Structure formats: structure tokens, C-alpha cells
Amino acid sequence: MSIHLENIAKHYGRGGRHQALAPLDLDIQQGELIGLLGPSGSGKTTLLRIIAGLEAPDHKPAGRILFGERDVTQLHVRDRRIGFVFQHYALFRHMTVYDNVAFGLTVMPRRQRPSSGEIRARVHRLLEMVQLEKLAGRYPAQLSGGQQQRVSLARSLALRPDVLLLDEPFGALDAKVRQELRRWLRHLHDELNFTSVFVTHDQEEALELSDRVVVMSDGRIEQIDTPEALYRAPANRFVFKFLGDANHLEGEVRDGVLTCGDARLDVDLPDGPEDLLLRPHEVALDTAPRESAHLPVTVTAISPVGAEVRVELAADWLPGPWLATVRHADFERLTLSRGQRLFALPRRWHRFEDSAPAAHDSAALLAG
Amino acid sequence: MQRIGDAPVLRRTLIGAAVALAALFLLLPLVAIFAQAFAKGLGGFWSNVSDTYTLSAIGLTLFITVLTIPVNLVFGVMLAWLVTRFQFPGRRLLQTLIDIPFAISPVVAGLVYLLLYGRNGWVGGWLDAHDIQLMFAWPGILMVTIFVTCPFVARELIPLMQAQGSREEEAAVTLGASGFTLFRRVTLPNIRWALLYGVILTNARAVGEFGAVSVVSGAIRGETNTLPLHVELLYQDYNTVGAFASAALLALIALFTLAAKAGLEWRATRREASA
């Protein structure tokens, strides 16, 4: 089922002083898996709860929420046919796993309710699907976090919802379980073909799991795009910085040279102040400066764990430290050690004006 | 390595002092009540307890208690639900107002009710014109008893419901539960022990309330005399055995309440340990 949001806004507090969501539009296609990504306070959970009907959007301006062709704006949560997975699972603590999953079926009006035999069969199928048949008689407090989250998913799927909404579904789990559940959710989504929206503050999770990611900040949508497009072409400075580590290069451009203290870099930009951004993997290190780039730095920390070595760099001309990732081979060639003085060579940098983003391959390495 | 309080002398002194104080101030009076009640043997105790006026006092006390508990049960649950599940202007004020019966002296509460609903009172004058008598009759006793005991259930529930939050209820609604189903199958099971605990406290206070009741009851023997008032009347009549026999009944109810409370607490800790 597709989801269509039109002019949805939310204000809190007396007289609506605090804005949680600026008026926004959003279209989600049938069968899509959408990630709402943003820092805390960006309004992503509020948006999810408004889609669910757990919170009402502002009446003025009057917004609309459509599920497919159906206008659900005025519809109560219980009639929207959604599955909702809560951040801390919200399992009924006094009920067994079985009773938790069966709840939605047992509270249906008598006329629509399936027979007790069918309820039993459906609950067992769901428990089988989340691989928890053996724990049907346990209470939530006797389960691990990952198991509780799977019960919560099974419970939300019992009524065969068209739309599955998940609020930070993996936030409280440790890294390994999170990875496993992510893969499992993706699989489940593809198999059952419902429309899913999940909220996360973890960019890696959003990029890995979603068909499209909605990046939010301050109650506004900053960008909606596929993970690849988002990472390659962030719409603005906020999206760029939120999707990964970013190094700042701030300085003054004059006659095609950006200077900042005793550092300088050839750039093809008009005169004026600039604040360029670089990803850690876009910073190379060498023992000598180039004609086109003179950026002296000192190594302050080294973390050799993982596919690449992470090196922290500092310099007088830098307001904050830079982060560079170096291949292990280069790391050994340069025999890096803390306190060593080197030169940074930007491979590529990004520049954001108010609206037009731009990425430039640096002349420094091409020339060198 | 010695921790603070490990010195045997200090420890024994403290334990000894605690036991001595408990015996002197808590246990001894209890023993004295029963000793006095049975001072003229079982027969003396029985003849006093089965006295018409005593029986009527017992009856009135139980009658008031049985009416008070459901009223405060419903009121307390509604109030706790309101305060913990909704945001509205004046919510904090309401939470403070709940505590008024705790803060105010019961005698003052009784006087206020008398002032309002007595024959010369603001509302009482109108009631009197319509031939409705609240003060110096059982409705007045019921009113002040409800007033005095109304915070108990709400006070037990509010912190618990605040800690539990409304997530489970939201989950139930997304699964299609109606308001009543939600309360019966999700909210009530989560608060039932606190609710029962609140009821026990309400019961104890409703049975034993003296101050507020003594102001509004008039203590008419056989009509508006509750058990605590009866104890005082008998004592003033120099009927020591009678007074203590009734006091022993109150003490028995209190002991029973304590046992029920301890039982619940034991159950709660056991449940926590198993969870």
C-alpha cells in the first residue's frame, strides 16, 4: 500500500510554540522500505507516529494522509491497519510470548475474529517465522533483547498489516544482533511485500537497509534519495556531514589559491571565503608537499583496526582535528607514528553553496 | 578491613535498641489491648462484643468501609490514569490537590464538611429545605471517610503508571484494542498489585478513622456510632473491658490488614526475583 503525506505539520506546547515538524510532503510507493534518518529532535519519530495515528498532525494548515486511495487522516489508530514496532518493544509484560503475538487476533470483534483453532495456527506460523516456537510459553522478561524484538515484530504482523512502521527497531541491541536482525527484516520485507517505514539515527543502518532514505533535521526533510545517490550527491552541507565523518578546510581564496595560516591549496574557485569539506578517505598523506598543495599536519592518534587505518591529524591552521583513512600498505610504507609531521593531500573536496552542491577532484593528486 | 558498622559492640547496641523500642512502643500496647479486653475472661469479652450498640458500631463501620472502597477504587484509577496518560494545563496542580487529605488534619476536614453541609452551612441550608440530612447521619460519615482516604489508591498507582509509561497501551491500540479491552487486558493486569495495595491501605484507614468522623457523626449510639467512636464512648463510661474489647476488634482488623500487606509484598519480591 502506498503512503501519501500532504502538508503534514506538528507543533507542540501552549500556542504551538515548539515546532516538531514543518509542513512537509512525502510519497512512499507500495512495497518500499523507507528509512527516516536524522539526529534526535529532527522530528523523525513524530512523523512516524503521525503516519501511525498515535499522534495527530496540526489542524491548521490542514494536512492529509492517504494509504493507497484511502484518506486516513481522521481515522483512529486501531482502524488504520498498521503494524507498529516500538523502540523498546513494548511487549505486554504479564503475557506469554504466545499471548503477546495472539493479542491482535483475540481482541478482534467476535464476528470478524478467526476461530480459536485458526488463531492458534496463525500464531504458531508467526512464531516459526521469527524462530521462537520453543519460547512460546516464556514471559518477555525472560527473553534477550533480540528475542523480544522478534516477538514484537511477530505481534505487529499478526493482523497482516499493509503498512509496517518501526521506531528505532534495533537501537537498543548490540552490534552483532542488530546486523542479524537488519538482514532478517530486509528478507521479511521482500518476502511479505508490505510497505515499511523505519526510524533510525544510525546512517549506516539507514543506508544499508532502505530502498530510499529520508534525511531529516529540525522538523524538515533535507533530502529523499536512494542510499547511493545520497552518499554520492548529498543535497547540502547538513546531509553531507550527517552521513559520515567530514573534515573542514576553511580559508580565503585569492587568485585560485586557498590559504589558511601556513597552509595553502590550489583551487579553481572565485575569490572569497570558503569552507570545503572532505571525507576521511579523500585525504591522502605523504612525506613531502606538492606544488599545488601545502598542508602540513601532525599525527595525533592512530587506530589500525579494520580494513583501513584511521589516522587523526592536527595542525595550527586547523580549528578541529582531521580524520584520514589510509590503506594498510600505505601505512607501512610511510611508517606512521604518533607525533610524525606529514603533508595532507586532498584527493577530492566538496563545496556547498546555499543550494548548489559541487564536488571537485583535486588538482593536487592529478598534477602529482 | 572493617566496614562502617562492623564493630560488634555498635551492631549489638543498635539492634538491641531497635528491638527494645519496637517492643516498648509497638508490641506492648498491642499486648495490653488484648490483656485488658480479656481481663474478665472470654465471657466478659464476648458479652461486650455482642452488646447491641457494639454490634451496631461494627455494622456501621463495615458498611462505611464497604462503600468507601469501591468509590475510591474507581476514583483513584481514573485520577491516576488522567494524571499519567494525558497532558493538560493544571495537571501538576491536580497532582498536588490529591495530597490535600494527607496534609490536612482530619478534624479540620470534618469541620469543613460540617460548615458546608451542616444545617446552617452553605449547601446544608438548601439540603435541609429539601429534607436531606447529611451531617450527623451515615452519609456524612461516608463523605468524610471518602475524603480522608481518597489519595491512597491514586498515590499508589501514579508512580507505578508513570514508570511503566503508555507504550504497552499504545501497542494494544495499534493492534486494534478498544478502550475497555485495553484497560481490562493491558492496564489492569499491570497495576493490579499496586491497586490491591491501595485498597488495603484505604480499608485500614476507613475502618480506623476517628478525627473527621467524630466531628460529623454526633456519635448517636446505635445509629451514627462507628467502632473507633464507640471505643471512646465506652472508655468515658468507665467500661474499660468494653472499650478494650472493641479496641481489640480494631486491632484484629489492623493485624489482618498488615498480614495481607506483607503477603502482597512477599509476592511482589518473589515475582521480581523470578522475572
Q: Are residues A195 and A279 in the same domain?
A: no
> Could A77 and B168 be called an inter-chain contact, meaning their C-beta atoms sit closer than 8 Å?
no
Nearest CB to B170 within list A90, A108, A159:
A90
Q: Are residues A71 and A205 in the same domain?
A: yes
Contact B227, B61 (CB under 8 A): yes
Q: Is residue B138 part of a domain?
A: yes
Nearest CB to B168 within list A82, A92, A141:
A92
**Grid cell in block for residue A300:** 595525533
Residues of A in contact with B178 (CB under 8 A): 78, 107
Nearest CB to B171 within list A14, A84, A108:
A84
Q: Give B212's Cβ-side CA count (13 Å radius).
A: 26
Residue A366: pLDDT above 50?
no
CATH of the domain at A361: 2.40.50.100
- Domain endpoint, select from A180, A213, A234: A234
Q: Is residue A141 part of a domain?
A: yes
Q: What is the CA radius of gyration of chain B?
A: 23
SS3 A364: helix
* Residue of chain A whose Cα is closest to the Cα of B170: A54
> Could B177 and A84 be called an inter-chain contact, meaning their C-beta atoms sit closer than 8 Å?
no
Q: Is residue B234 part of a domain?
A: no
Beta bridge partners of A21: A10
* Nearest-angstrom CA–CA distance, B150 and B148: 6
Q: Are residues A214 and A267 in the same domain?
A: no
Residue A15: pLDDT above 60?
yes
* Nearest-angstrom CA–CA distance, A100 and A158: 10
Q: Dihedrals φ, ψ of B38, to 5°? A: -100, 20
Range of the domain at A217: 3-234
Question: Between A368 and B58, where is the model more confident?
Answer: B58
> Could A93 and B167 be called an inter-chain contact, meaning their C-beta atoms sit closer than 8 Å?
no
Q: Is residue A239 part of a domain?
A: no
Tell me the per-residue pLDDT of A38-81, one tens digit each, with 9 for 90 and over.
999 899 999 999 999 999 999 888 899 999 999 999 999 999 99
CATH of the domain at B110: 1.10.3720.10
Range of the domain at B145: 64-221
Q: Is residue B119 part of a domain?
A: yes
Q: Provide the pLDDT for residue B120.
A: 83
Q: Is residue B217 part of a domain?
A: yes
Q: Are residues A213 and A295 in the same domain?
A: no
Query: Omega into A109 within 30° of 0, i.e. cis?
Result: no
> Could B168 and A139 be called an inter-chain contact, meaning their C-beta atoms sit closer than 8 Å?
no
| Burial of A190 per CB tally in 10 Å (0-12, 13-18, 19+) | exposed
Residues of A in contact with B177 (CB under 8 A): 78, 103, 107
Mutate which: B175, B181, B185, B186, vs A, most A CBs within 10 A: B175
Q: Is residue A135 part of a domain?
A: yes
Q: Is residue B198 part of a domain?
A: yes
Mutate which: A51, A77, A110, vs B, most B CBs within 10 A: A77
Tell me the per-residue pLDDT of A170-215, one tens digit each, with 9 for 90 and over.
887 888 888 888 888 898 888 888 899 999 999 989 999 999 999 9
Residues of A in contact with B161 (CB under 8 A): none
State how many domains chain B has: 1
Nearest CB to B173 within list A78, A83, A159:
A78
pLDDT > 70 fraction of chain A, expressed in percent and rounded: 96
Residues of B in contact with A52 (CB under 8 A): 174
* Nearest-angstrom CA–CA distance, B227 and B206: 11
Q: Is residue B23 part of a domain?
A: no
Nearest CB to B176 within list A52, A86, A108:
A108
State how many domains chain A has: 2
* Nearest-angstrom CA–CA distance, A270 and A55: 49
Render A324-353 in DSSP notation, one character per residue: EEEEHHHHHHHT--TT-EEEEEESEEEEE-
Q: Are residues A224 and A274 in the same domain?
A: no
| Burial of B193 per CB tally in 10 Å (0-12, 13-18, 19+) | middle
pLDDT confidence tier of residue A358, bands split at 50, 70 and 90: low
* Residue of chain A whose Cα is closest to the Cα of B186: A92
Nearest CB to A78 within list B89, B176, B275:
B176
Contact A156, B174 (CB under 8 A): yes
Mean pLDDT of A148-162: 93
Q: Are residues A212 and A264 in the same domain?
A: no
* Residue of chain B whose Cα is closest to the Cα of A107: B177
Q: Are residues A202 and A249 in the same domain?
A: no
Q: How far is CA A86 from CA A153, A255, A256, B151, B213, in A?
A: 9, 56, 53, 33, 50
> Could B171 and A82 be called an inter-chain contact, meaning their C-beta atoms sit closer than 8 Å?
no
CATH of the domain at A12: 3.40.50.300
* Residue of chain B whose Cα is closest to the Cα of A161: B175
pLDDT confidence tier of residue A367, bands split at 50, 70 and 90: very low
Q: Are residues A38 and A8 in the same domain?
A: yes
Q: Are residues A164 and A80 in the same domain?
A: yes
Q: pLDDT tens track of chain B, all 275 residues?
A: 567 667 888 889 999 999 999 999 999 999 999 999 998 889 989 999 999 999 999 999 999 999 999 999 999 999 999 999 988 889 999 999 999 999 999 999 999 999 999 888 888 888 888 888 888 999 999 999 999 999 999 999 999 999 999 999 999 999 999 989 999 999 999 999 899 999 999 999 999 999 999 999 988 888 899 999 999 999 999 998 899 999 999 999 989 988 988 888 888 777 766 65
- Domain endpoint, select from A234, A261, A295: A234
Q: Provide the pLDDT for residue B10.
A: 87
* Residue of chain B whose Cα is closest to the Cα of A12: B87
Q: Where are the alpha helices (DSSP H) in B151-239?
A: 151-164, 167-174, 179-182, 188-208, 211-217, 227-236
Q: Is residue A34 part of a domain?
A: yes
* Nearest-angstrom CA–CA distance, B227 and B221: 11
Nearest-CA distance A99 → chain B (Å): 11
Residues with Cβ within 8 Å of A368's Cβ and at least 6 positions away in sequence, in order, are A290, A291, A292, A345
Q: Are residues A183 and A299 in the same domain?
A: no
Nearest CB to A107 within list B168, B175, B189:
B175
- Domain endpoint, select from A190, A207, A234: A234
Q: Provide the pLDDT for residue A368.
A: 37
pLDDT confidence tier of residue A357, bands split at 50, 70 and 90: low
Mean pLDDT of A290-313: 90
* Residue of chain B whose Cα is closest to the Cα of A82: B174
> Could B172 and A107 be called an inter-chain contact, meaning their C-beta atoms sit closer than 8 Å?
yes
Which chain B residues touch A if contact means CB-CB below 8 Å? 89, 167-168, 170-178, 181, 185-186, 189-190, 275
Q: Provide the pLDDT for residue B275.
A: 53
* Residue of chain A whose Cα is closest to the Cα of B188: A94
* Residue of chain B whose Cα is closest to the Cα of A92: B168
Q: Provide the pLDDT for residue B231.
A: 93
Tell me the per-residue pLDDT of A332-348, one tens digit each, with 9 for 90 and over.
888 888 888 999 999 88
Q: Is residue B107 part of a domain?
A: yes
Q: Are residues A224 and A331 in the same domain?
A: no
* Nearest-angstrom CA–CA distance, A246 and A324: 10
Q: Are residues A198 and A141 in the same domain?
A: yes
Q: Is residue B42 part of a domain?
A: no
Q: Exposure string (b/e) for A324-358, b if CB count within 10 Å is 16 or more?
A: bbbeeeebeebebeeebebbbbbeebbbbeeeebe
| Position B106, amino acid | P
Q: Is residue A240 part of a domain?
A: no
> Could B168 and A88 be called an inter-chain contact, meaning their C-beta atoms sit closer than 8 Å?
no
Mean pLDDT of A356-362: 63
Render A20-51 in DSSP notation, one character per residue: EEEEEEEEE-TT-EEEEE--TTSSHHHHHHHH
